[in-house]
Structure 1
């Protein structure tokens, strides 16, 4: 995964080599194929190159239009190249082997700002229009490639990584306590803010224009999403299979050999098994390697399941082991990148995979990310059935969802889940925003006075989708696109993988597949109380039955307990910076971890404690970030 950056002066000055060089020097290493930069008049653009598609090998950025003079830097991948080339007609024929960015620039010349609505893929793009002295930034709907920006009224800067701007542009270092409060509360909702005052994030599926010294943002990814909920079961399965194949073919376009993560779970196993079948059928031009992490003797070891996939396909996966959490390395990561430290459970499965892929000369890893988001299903479509008068469909779905329950119990549950959200605001809030907890004004581990001072409760309730959608099901499902906490959960992991030259690709998050699932029948996602019903039906004959019918899921807790215990040994909870600053209740944080330590001391057997624990890590992560990144 490469990166982009740039700056524009809005006060009449020409861009200088000095400012661009400062941004380049400050940037975290991201892109192993060199750095190029361009400047003309008030603007400068930077590209940190890292070719992961065949067409990107040897490309020279920025791309400059001979027609409009527009200048573009492009980081990402287009998954619908064929469609776009056809839209460009004769010009498209000339671009058949061109880098993706050249195709995007040709579309921009033809369509202007709306060109982005034709693009399918994973991208962040900057376009400078010298004739209008206008900068345009766009970001794909999922936001796997981040972009942050700052503007002091005279100079606008943007970059993939925060360090490029905070250090490279010499930003004044001020904390955004309100955003930090969201993070510590485990209810992060801000689409645009970061932990730094003055450093903003462009939301996923959004665009930004800088023109005449003013910044304007808008959300370009607005649907509509076709309602296909009345399709038959068989048509649902056939359509899913078609789109999943299309997604797999798209994400396997790679300049190097590539592998797919294989945990043994339903999602990653579906990627490995179906991609292998497509290769053997001649529809994918290479065998996709499988790479699996194994943890002998630990409760989260999934060797039983990943081995079943190997035997089913007749392949041998590359095996890696655990990567121990090193507190000093985590602190150094914060200092070097200004990112949060990686969660221990993420590091556990990611670090050795990255090391192995880099050693093997690979630059792409496929994942099963997105299966839980899109295919687990919920009951959010039941109120839609009530509003549309489809009572017979609701009753059928209800009795399917609660098999074996007495009729009067099923009827009561149908009314509660179908009618309740239409008449009770609190129930509707829980349905549409399940990632938030509105039971209390502030979580008990936060200082309530601080929570009030930063307006935390108001921020939670101000959280809203960036567009209006018909029905509760689509509103809830769109939350997958607009999930703000992806910024804090995923961006450090993506940056870590990029530091090894590895780009993660997620076929379940393909835009075309997601658009179909936005309008799919809820009963096809969750039926008979079984999550991922549609995926299980579609993978008949693809997956080994042992995996296809698997109901269990590994919980990566044990090594996280060990990491947290070591961090608390080095700095007790009441001495953490968040406690010293009066933000959190240090002793309460210690108490929250104690139950998990007891579980670990008892041999990691039995049920994992069912109580809040994430905030313990969030507090420790913020402690490391404050001390080593912010330098408090």
Structure 2
């Protein structure tokens, strides 16, 4: 994690803001390394469970008038080292400095990686802050009184600079409705958008977009065979370049094709490593009546064939209660927080994840029908949508054509919105219209991909896992979010995804020699065992939290909660007369407890 502040006018505070930020971010095994140069003060943290050294984070050369701070990694360094005539031993910050000296800020367009980069040229009184194209690495900033503050620890920066102020209520309501997930606890502090950089001079801050996927055009010359060949090569290479022998590798595993292909390819790259652990969110010893599908069986088959040591979750009620109260760190990713702890116990410090596959290379059928109709590909359209089953045909056209194109939500989705916001006061219930549009509505597959990038759920998860993972000593990497794969999928005509009737056709076709058939042909994304287990965890915990509601009412940050309705439903639940689904109440109690404890920690004076 990197952080700092810089002011060329000296109008900014010379107070202990940055020192306070240091204190907030400190954990037992984190070491802060201060960096001061001219008008810049800041530094970076190292975690002794991770193999990064100071040279991997910081480079400073007075003779070349440059300071580089890097959070993350550059994955295409081999080709860039050759371009710059640098030895293989050169660390990423040295490579960045050389590229910048040759090309200025445009150098960032050459990078393929997960990164936040700060560059300062003291003699020129010029500074830059860059974020990677997709937004894997977190960074937030604020320009205040001619001073630019930034930090990889988004919540830490907000906490340091907003002492005594209430938390932005929209930020806190993210588990009750759709919000702009770019929001931070302090509405003055902003996340630097993916594919953007800030140039900071004596004149102020200027934001520039350097990566715009909207500029990518559909490639009508692509053939089905060429598409599969090139995407298969890209997936293999995306995993390969993210492997680092300094780390002990592991992976997420499930019944999903995304996580499966990433886990198997990563294991092959780490073939000389002893145990390569696969972390499942599913519980090992938990049974569910009347289920036709058990993800654990498929995950076990995958791990057995790939020589992966499978680690199931063994989260207990006490662990879950603690995780809910640790919302400040885990941001509600309770299962992943526990998986990270299991990774630490096994010595694993690098987890490969299939996150992001659904939105691009593993796309299912959203947007395809719209493209076929627009392009008058009627033969393909009716092959995929036979009218022989008229009822199913009509249902599919409503779901995949009319609703997304005209901005309608189906009844089930609308009902879930009402349930999630049940205990929010009426003035605050409404979800962010742009967020709903970006996730649900589109008129083409291309627009769907672009809007899912803008929706920011991909980046929000990556940010949360990056920050919490760093504190625990775990790095995450997402090969299926390699920018080359995203760019390629934006070029692919939808007709090429219709050669077979497979759901998620690309990964099923290219994984023939990678995944066992049990994984390759599994179409279910649901894990009934996991969700039954989570329902039990939520219900047991919610009963405990019911006695704390009167305390929560005194928290001014929770002014948007309808505590009268919450208290009435708790009373009705206890008297067995609740007129709504109990899980709606349980879910609300867990997340209100989580954000209450987040609020207490946020306002804590360090």
- TM-score class, shorter: 0.7 to 0.9
String of CA shifts for 1:361-407, please: whole Å, max 9, x gaps: x32111222222321323324334444xx21x24414422x36x517
Cα distance in 2 between the residues matched to 1:416 and 1:18: 58
Report the counterpart of residue 59 of structure 1 in structure 2: 55
538-547 or 486-495: bigger deviation: 486-495
- Compute the displacement of 1:461 (Å): 4.0
> Structure 2 vs 1, CA of residues 240 and 487 (structure 1 numbering), >3 Å: closer, same or farther?
closer
Report the counterpart of residue 600 of structure 1 in structure 2: none
Report the counterpart of residue 312 of structure 1 in structure 2: 305
Report the counterpart of residue 289 of structure 1 in structure 2: 276
- Compute the displacement of 1:248 (Å): 1.2
Q: Does 1:110 align with 2:102?
A: yes
Report the counterpart of residue 11 of structure 1 in structure 2: 9
String of CA shifts for 1:107-136, please: whole Å, max 9, x gaps: 122222222111101111111221332331
Q: TM-score, normalised by structure 2?
A: 0.82
String of CA shifts for 1:298-353, please: whole Å, max 9, x gaps: 4496331122123433x25153431225366346635xxx44553434345x1443
Report the counterpart of residue 248 of structure 2 in structure 1: 257
Cα distance in 2 between the residues matched to 1:370 and 1:591: 40
Give matches, 1:284-363, under 5 Å. Answer: 289-293=276-280, 294-299=283-288, 302-313=295-306, 315=307, 317-324=309-316, 325-326=318-319, 329-330=322-323, 333-334=326-327, 338-339=328-329, 341-348=331-338, 350-357=339-346, 360=347, 362-363=348-349
Cα distance in 1 between the residues matched to 2:527 and 2:392: 30
> Structure 2 vs 1, CA of residues 330 and 627 (structure 1 numbering), >3 Å: closer, same or farther?
farther
Cα distance in 2 between the residues matched to 1:120 and 1:588: 50
Cα distance in 2 between the residues matched to 1:576 and 1:528: 57
Instruction: Tell me, yes or no, if the aligned pair for 2:320 and 2:334 is still in contact at 8 Å.
Output: no
Cα distance in 2 between the residues matched to 1:441 and 1:303: 30
Report the counterpart of residue 377 of structure 1 in structure 2: 364
> Which of 531, 541, 556 does residue 557 from structure 1 map onto?
531
- Compute the displacement of 1:442 (Å): 10
> Which of 364, 378, 386 does residue 350 from structure 2 map onto?
364
Instruction: Tell me, yes or no, if the aligned pair for 2:365 and 2:504 is still in contact at 8 Å.
Output: no
Give matches, 1:149-164, under 5 Å. Answer: 149-162=141-154, 164=156
Where 1:481 maps in the other structure, the secondary structure is helix
Give matches, 1:587-598, under 5 Å. Answer: none
> Structure 2 vs 1, CA of residues 557 and 587 (structure 1 numbering), >3 Å: closer, same or farther?
farther
> Structure 2 vs 1, CA of residues 329 and 543 (structure 1 numbering), >3 Å: closer, same or farther?
same
Report the counterpart of residue 407 of structure 2 in structure 1: 426
- Compute the displacement of 1:568 (Å): 2.8
> Which of 575, 598, 601 does residue 625 from structure 1 map onto?
598
- Compute the displacement of 1:30 (Å): 9.2
Cα distance in 1 between the residues matched to 2:319 and 2:583: 27
Where 1:111 maps in the other structure, the secondary structure is helix
Report the counterpart of residue 542 of structure 1 in structure 2: 514
Report the counterpart of residue 568 of structure 1 in structure 2: 542
Report the counterpart of residue 578 of structure 2 in structure 1: none
Give matches, 1:63-212, under 5 Å. Answer: 63-65=59-61, 68-86=64-82, 88=83, 92-162=84-154, 164-166=156-158, 168=160, 171-181=163-173, 183-191=174-182, 193-212=183-202
Where 1:482 maps in the other structure, the secondary structure is helix
Gaps of 5+ in 1: 598-607
231-240 or 503-512: bigger deviation: 231-240
> Structure 2 vs 1, CA of residues 168 and 351 (structure 1 numbering), >3 Å: closer, same or farther?
same
Where 1:406 maps in the other structure, the secondary structure is coil
Instruction: Tell me, yes or no, if the aligned pair for 1:259 and 1:365 is still in contact at 8 Å.
Output: yes
Gaps of 5+ in 2: 575-580
Q: Does 1:396 align with 2:377?
A: no
Where 1:372 maps in the other structure, the secondary structure is coil
> Structure 2 vs 1, CA of residues 564 and 341 (structure 1 numbering), >3 Å: closer, same or farther?
farther
Cα distance in 2 between the residues matched to 1:590 and 1:399: 54
Instruction: Tell me, yes or no, if the aligned pair for 2:168 and 2:186 is still in contact at 8 Å.
Output: yes
Q: Does 1:583 align with 2:576?
A: no
RMSD: 4.2
Instruction: Tell me, yes or no, if the aligned pair for 1:275 and 1:288 is still in contact at 8 Å.
Output: no
Instruction: Tell me, yes or no, if the aligned pair for 1:139 and 1:207 is still in contact at 8 Å.
Output: yes
> Which of 491, 494, 500 does residue 522 from structure 1 map onto?
494
13-22 or 538-547: bigger deviation: 13-22
Cα distance in 2 between the residues matched to 1:396 and 1:419: 15
- Compute the displacement of 1:471 (Å): 7.2
Instruction: Tell me, yes or no, if the aligned pair for 1:9 and 1:15 is still in contact at 8 Å.
Output: no
Q: Does 1:236 align with 2:210?
A: no
Cα distance in 1 between the residues matched to 2:27 and 2:596: 24
Instruction: Tell me, yes or no, if the aligned pair for 2:59 and 2:68 is still in contact at 8 Å.
Output: yes
- Compute the displacement of 1:494 (Å): 3.2
Cα distance in 2 between the residues matched to 1:409 and 1:436: 22
Q: Does 1:220 align with 2:210?
A: yes
Where 2:326 maps in the other structure, the secondary structure is helix
Where 1:251 maps in the other structure, the secondary structure is coil
- Compute the displacement of 1:501 (Å): 0.9
Report the counterpart of residue 48 of structure 1 in structure 2: 45
> Structure 2 vs 1, CA of residues 330 and 64 (structure 1 numbering), >3 Å: closer, same or farther?
same
String of CA shifts for 1:23-62, please: whole Å, max 9, x gaps: 3333243985x432221232123121359998x5462653
Report the counterpart of residue 602 of structure 1 in structure 2: none
- Compute the displacement of 1:139 (Å): 1.1
Cα distance in 1 between the residues matched to 2:91 and 2:111: 14
> Which of 393, 400, 406 does residue 388 from structure 2 map onto?
406
String of CA shifts for 1:487-543, please: whole Å, max 9, x gaps: 655544333322221101111111112221222243555777643211111111221
Give matches, 1:16-35, under 5 Å. Answer: 20-29=18-27, 32=30, 34-35=31-32
Q: TM-score, normalised by structure 1?
A: 0.78
> Structure 2 vs 1, CA of residues 100 and 287 (structure 1 numbering), >3 Å: closer, same or farther?
farther
Cα distance in 2 between the residues matched to 1:226 and 1:503: 34
Cα distance in 2 between the residues matched to 1:510 and 1:287: 27
Where 2:265 maps in the other structure, the secondary structure is helix
Instruction: Tell me, yes or no, if the aligned pair for 2:253 and 2:279 is still in contact at 8 Å.
Output: yes
- Compute the displacement of 1:163 (Å): 5.3
Cα distance in 2 between the residues matched to 1:535 and 1:287: 28
160-169 or 134-143: bigger deviation: 160-169
223-232 or 509-518: bigger deviation: 223-232
Instruction: Tell me, yes or no, if the aligned pair for 1:124 and 1:145 is still in contact at 8 Å.
Output: yes
